[in-house]
Amino acid sequence: MAHGRGAAWGLYLRIDRQRLQCLNERREGSGALVFRAWEERGDRAQFVESDDDEELLFNIPFTGNVKLKGVIVMGEDDGTHPAEMRLFKNIPHMSFDDTAREPDQMFTLNRDPRGELEYPTKIARFSNVYHLSIHFPKNFGAETTKIFYIGLKGEWTEAHRHEVTICNYEASANPADHKLEQITPQTHFIS
């Protein structure tokens, strides 16, 4: 495997970890573990497993705008491996109720215990992504779903979105907020 391949899968560095969410994870915070360097995808100590049923839903906010080109999903070579992946772009805080809508792209997955199968996205559709949701609705027959690694390939650009700037506008100025030295008015005569 060429070194260059790992570099292409660097979008995990562009995830806003504070706001990354995985719904129905058995162990809190474990969903974040599957987004790591491509070279470390074989670390089987780091995984997420679903809790109540086989569904998992990831809400992945990026720190900028992403052109998503491909996804890798690595699981166990058994019934816990996800069998389907549905991608939604730019719907922050998605819930399982929201997954009833039509995804931007859907993939039927093959078991990939070594993390080598790349699912190419429709790049035109995923060219301006600041938030990606990945829904795994079912697996290959087990009660729970287990994922070791999710690779995200693409390009990142810094965000120029207006929400980033938070402006506080005052309806009417409160003089207490603007402590100014008492200035003696001076009259200037123009000769």
The 10s digit of each residue's pLDDT in 4-38 is 677 889 999 999 999 999 999 999 999 999 999 99
For residues 19 and 183, the model is more confident at 19
Whether 62 has a pLDDT exceeding 60, the answer reads yes
Query: Which pLDDT value is given to residue 6?
Result: 78
Global pTM value: 0.82
The secondary structure of 135-183, three-state, reads: EECCECCCCCCEEEEEEEEEEEEECCCHHHCCCCCCCCCCHHHCCCCCC
Rounded to whole angstroms, how far apart are CA atoms 87 and 128?
14
Query: Which pLDDT value is given to residue 8?
Result: 87
Look over the chain and give the mean of its residue pLDDT values, rounded to a whole number.
88
Rounded to whole angstroms, how far apart are CA atoms 133 and 97?
13
Mean pLDDT on 103-125: 97
Query: Which pLDDT value is given to residue 163?
Result: 52
Whether 146 has a pLDDT exceeding 80, the answer reads yes
The percentage of residues in the chain with a pLDDT greater than 70, rounded to a whole number, is: 81
Whether 92 has a pLDDT exceeding 70, the answer reads yes
The percentage of residues in the chain with a pLDDT greater than 90, rounded to a whole number, is: 78
